[in-house]
Amino acid sequence: STSLTSAYVGSEIHIADSPDGPFIPLKTTYPSCNNPSPWVMNNGTIVVLCSWSTVHGKLVNWRIIAAEQLEGPWRDVIELSITPSTRMGVNGSWEDPFIWSDINGMWHALSHTYTHQPGGPYVQNSISGHLFARHIEGPWHVSPIEPYDSVVKYINYSTKP
């Protein structure tokens, strides 16, 4: 893994001695990371899935970073390439990830997806995606099964898209 040696001080991470605050920016080497999804491993290592970030001036989609403490140093674990990115047979976009490790040590990420299909709510469209891996370093795989959809299921068994 590559060490992230950003000189950036202050961050998206804020700390306080109490839930009531005041919150102050943490001095850290935490890099640029959009919509971070954190997970603390059993050994205390903090991993964060970023839906996009900037690395050496280059925009990177989906990467996992890690550190032993919030202050850093942060390091790259892997840049993820979501392949296939197609959903419902149409090229799709993935955003707003949530990462976790299950009781068997498998890694998972759920994401909102969308396929830019016109036609309103009754056109079949992608809503969600599931990635999984045996090890956080990969390889990561795209599940062919959409984990959830946009249909609301009521207690009386009726549905509404």
pLDDT in tens, 63-77: 899 999 999 999 999
Please report where in the chains the tokens 């840049």 appear, as a residue. 79
pLDDT of residue 121: 57
Eight-class DSSP state of 18: S
Arithmetic mean of pLDDT, 123-150: 86
Q: Is 105 left (phi over 0), alpha (psi -120 to 50) or beta?
A: left
pLDDT at 12: 73
- Least confident stretch, 58-62, 81-85, 119-123, 125-129: 119-123
Q: Is pLDDT at 137 greater than 90 in this prediction? A: yes
Whole-number average pLDDT of the chain: 82
Phi and psi, residue 90, nearest 5°: -125, 140
> How far apart, in whole angstroms, are the C-alpha atoms of residue 1 and residue 22?
35
53 neighbors 64 (Cβ within 8 angstroms): no
Taking the model in full, what pTM does it have?
0.78
